[in-house]
Amino acid sequence: MKQFVVGIAILFLVGCTPKSWVKNQAAGAALGTSYSILYISDGELDYQKEIDSVFQVLNQSMSTYIPSSDISRINEGDSTIIVDEMFQEVFKTSSAVHKASDGYFDPTVGVLANAWGFGPGEQMDLDSLKVDSLLAYVGWEKVQLNKDGTISKMHPSIRFDFNAVAKGYAIDRLGALLDTKGIENYLVEVGGEVLTKGINVISGKKWSVGIDDPQVEVGRQLKLIVSLENRAMASSGNYRKFRVDPITGEKYVHTINPKTGFTKNSSVLAASVVTNNCAAADAYATAFMAMDLVDTKKLLETEDDLEAYVIYLDDNGETKEFMTKGFEELVVKP
């Protein structure tokens, strides 16, 4: 269930700028993608060092691409690591989404992500027997966060992969940083996921965020625009990030079904989720890519704080859309 960038375009609506407001911006590369942070104040500010520090600390805690990180050492079998508060919060969010999604969100798919060629580990030639053997090392019920901050695994080969939640959590931490600075109006975007607070006081409007059309493979075209205030949004999709077998030409999408162990060629093209924090939005968007649409709809009926937009293909191969009533209210009408 490795999360990849879906390509959400941020639309900054600029009107007449009052002299009392200053648009401060930070942008760069982090977590294997790009980021853009816009925060408005009554004077020029520069929080670049603090922003870099958030990314650095998060990487040291949860990046599977850094051998010395906590998650990498835990994956290699070190049971003495006492994880930090960030790791614990991501673990707890993962537990909640795992339960709500009936197990379709499961960050213990790390061994499968590696085997399918979507992680830092060794890729394998897989068949049903090999996949079945790897499933012995997958299952959220096989790991535990202990009271002393250590992590227990039922088998040393179990490997965590928080890529489908950590990016959203990084955005939440950046928002928390701006909160401590007294910033009341901001938009944080990392790899297309966003967190908003207040409004764009320069334009006098809510923050506007565009969602890419998943069927446009060359260039970018917006499917729709939503208006956000004090909300987070994350998206996931299979339409741009996949691996093609050089011999057979078969396409393998990056969404891994943790119940079967196989990558899922789903009729769902993309899913966008709006909720109160970006870590949860990130996780649910990934889960909805692995779940059947009927199950996604059932989940959304029980979660009042979740709004979603799903683009899918029907039985005739025609593109269809589903969105909750709350999400429809966020859409900016043309």
8-328: which CATH number, 3.10.520.10, 3.30.160.620, 1.10.3210.10, 3.50.40.10?
Answer: 3.10.520.10
State how far the Cα of 102 lies from the Cα of 310, in Å rounded to an integer.
19
Beta-bridged to residue 268, according to DSSP, are 312
Least confident residue range of 40-44, 133-137, 161-165, 258-262:
258-262
Is residue 262 scored above 90 in pLDDT? no
Q: What is the mean pLDDT of residues 317-322?
A: 88
Encode pLDDT of 148-203 as tens digits. 999 999 999 999 999 999 999 999 999 999 999 999 999 999 999 999 999 999 99
Among 196-200, 257-261, 265-269, 282-286, the minimum mean pLDDT is found in 265-269
Secondary structure letter of residue 261 according to DSSP: -
Does the pLDDT value for residue 16 go beyond 60? no
At 239, the pLDDT band (50, 70, 90 cuts) reads low
Predicted TM-score (pTM) of the model is 0.88
- What integer is the mean pLDDT of 125-145? 92
Q: Which amino acid is at 186?
A: Y
Per-residue pLDDT at 220: 72
Distances in Å between the alpha carbon of 66 and those of 61, 75, 82, 173? 9, 12, 17, 20
Residues 6+ apart with CB under 8 A from 19: none
Per-residue pLDDT averaged across 280-285, rounded?
A: 97
pLDDT at residue 2 above 60? no
* Res. 319: pLDDT tops 90: no
The pLDDT, as a whole number, for residue 245 is 53
Q: What is the band of 252 on the pLDDT scale with cuts at 50, 70, 90?
A: very low
Average pLDDT of the segment spanning 251-261: 74
Per residue in 138-154, pLDDT (tens digit) is 999 999 999 999 999 99
262 SS3 class: coil
User: Can you tell me which residue has the tokens 């649409």?
Assistant: 293
Query: Is the pLDDT score of 4 beyond 90?
Result: no
Q: Where are the domains of the chain?
A: 8-328
Q: Please name which of 244, 307, 298 lies closest in space to residue 271, comparing C-alpha atoms.
A: 307
Q: Is 262 exposed, middle or buried (0-12, 13-18, 19+ CB in 10 A)?
A: middle
Q: What letter does residue 333 receive in the DSSP assignment?
A: P
Which amino acid appears at position 34 of this protein?
Answer: S
For the ranges 52-56, 104-108, 221-225, 275-279, which has the lowest average pLDDT? 221-225
Considering only residues 269 and 133, tell me which one the structure prediction assigns the higher pLDDT. 133
pLDDT at res. 11: 58
Confidence of residue 8 (pLDDT cuts 50, 70, 90): low
Range 310-326 average pLDDT: 89
